[in-house]
Amino acid sequence: MSTQTETSTDDVVKLDNGPLVRLEQWMGRTGARLVPAAMTANQVTAISGVFGLLAGACFALAAFDRLWFAAGALLLLLHWAGDNIDGHVARTRNQCSAAGRFLDIFADALTFTAVGLGFALSSYGRFEIVATATLLCLVQYVLTVLWIALARVWPFPAFGPAEALLSGIVIALLSIVLPRELLSVAGQSYSLIDLAFALTIPGSLLTLVTSGLGLYRRLQQQDATG
């Protein structure tokens, strides 16, 4: 069952109503115990970002050997874990900061860019489909930054970063065993990667429209109330 949590990071309200919230909370609590006392939350975030970039590189290398998908899936899982551990470390060790928030969002944006490009270059996906879905994802990140900067709210869509990361891991692992050409339509062949990324495009467009309008109306109300 989906739950919604509201937590304050400095003066920013974080809204997350995704179905994986409790799993991510468990990941953060469990993983934080393994973080040395001398390591800061921002260092955890940076390491998580490196894992994300390496995952994208592994997906690109799958063009030579599909077993690279397995390495990429593992690195993406490590990125996901680190992306939850850093927040728990920051809250429990009183290290919440605007710099940490920036690093978190920027590392995630870099990861999704690297992963998208990696899948696109893997030879298992059509570049135009994967690139379009990846660009829409990045525009959503821009909109998130505008929400934070202008409304002091950090919104998460129902299918947010956590769901996208889990989907990426599953897609990578399935790509090891599934045929490269999974479906043929009008003489054109499509892979699992093509289908998965294509399915995200309508949802991304809907999120951009609804979230953008929501922010605009919220700012209008703020302007009206002075």
What are the extents of the domains in the chain? 5-224
Strands 153-155, 183-185: pairing is: unpaired
The confidence score (pLDDT) of residue 10 equals: 56
Q: What does the pLDDT read at residue 166?
A: 96
Q: Which residue has the higher pLDDT, 180 or 116?
A: 116
With 90 as the cut, is the pLDDT of residue 8 above it? Answer: no
Residue 6 pLDDT grade (very low, low, confident, very high; cuts 50, 70, 90): very low
- Is pLDDT larger for residue 6 or for residue 151? 151
Q: 90-93, long-range: CB within 8 Å, 24+ apart, which pairs?
A: 90/41, 91/7, 92/32, 93/40, 93/41
In the β-sheet with 5-9, what is the strand arrangement from edge to edge? 5-9, 12-16, 153-155
For residue 213, with 0-12 CB atoms within 10 Å meaning exposed, 13-18 middle and 19 or more buried, which class applies?
Answer: exposed
Residue 7 has pLDDT above 50, yes or no: no
Give the rounded percent of residues in the chain with a pLDDT score beyond 90: 72
**5-224 topology per CATH:** Four Helix Bundle (Hemerythrin (Met), subunit A) (1.20.120)
The rounded distance, in Å, linking the Cα atoms of 211 and 206 is 8
In 3-state terms, what secondary structure has residue 5?
strand
pLDDT for 28 equals: 94
> pTM for this structure?
0.89
pLDDT band at 2 (very low <50, low <70, confident <90, very high): very low
The pair of structure tokens assigned to 175 is 């790509």
Backbone angles phi and psi of 174, in degrees to 5: -70, -30
* Spacing of C-alpha 77 from chain mean position: 11
For all residues of the chain together, what is the average pLDDT?
Answer: 90
DSSP bridge pairs for 5 = 16
User: Per residue in 58-116, pLDDT tens?
Assistant: 999 999 999 999 999 999 999 999 999 999 999 999 998 889 988 998 999 999 999 99
pLDDT, tens digit (0-9, with 9 covering 90-100), for 207-224: 999 999 999 999 999 888
> Whole-angstrom distance between the N-terminal and C-terminal Cα of the chain?
39
For 62, 114, 167, 177, the CA distances from 173, given in Å and listed in that order, are 11, 17, 10, 8
Confidence of residue 135 (pLDDT cuts 50, 70, 90): very high
For residue range 31-55, what is the model confidence (pLDDT) as tens digits?
999 999 999 999 999 999 999 999 9
Alpha-carbon 40 to chain mean position? 22
Please give the pLDDT value at position 4.
40
DSSP 183-195: EEETTEEE-HHHH
